[in-house]
Amino acid sequence: MTLDVIHSALISYYRLNEEEARGAEEDLSVWFQRLARRGGAGHMPPKLLRISLLSAACQYGRSFQLWKLGGEQSADNSLNELLAREPDEVAGDLDRRFEGERS
């Protein structure tokens, strides 16, 4: 389920295309596997691991889209509003969405 939320965020929120989203997901998978192998990660609550992954996905999507825009504003005002938000804030929204879908 978390992977669906991440894919949806990268495509719908951050406006990455399918190829860009797949590349992001591969990078995030490697990052998350390293995080999970670290000492102590096994003691982290699943919710904290999920929020960490969502936050990393939002940071990735935001950074990638800002790079694509080259410092310019997008013609899409909703994208500009999203890019103005902190990735952790967006990740919190996504986590609440995830929790709502699980209920």
List, for residues 19-48, the tens digit of each pLDDT value. 999 999 999 999 988 887 776 666 778 788
For the chain, the domain total comes to: 1
Q: Residue 19 corresponds to which amino acid?
A: E
Q: What pTM was estimated for this model as a whole?
A: 0.87
pLDDT band at 85 (very low <50, low <70, confident <90, very high): very high
CA distance 63 to 31: 16
Those residues whose C-beta lies under 8 Å from the C-beta of residue 85, and which sit 6 or more positions away, are none
Percent of the chain with pLDDT over 90: 63
- The residue range of the domain holding 31 is 2-102
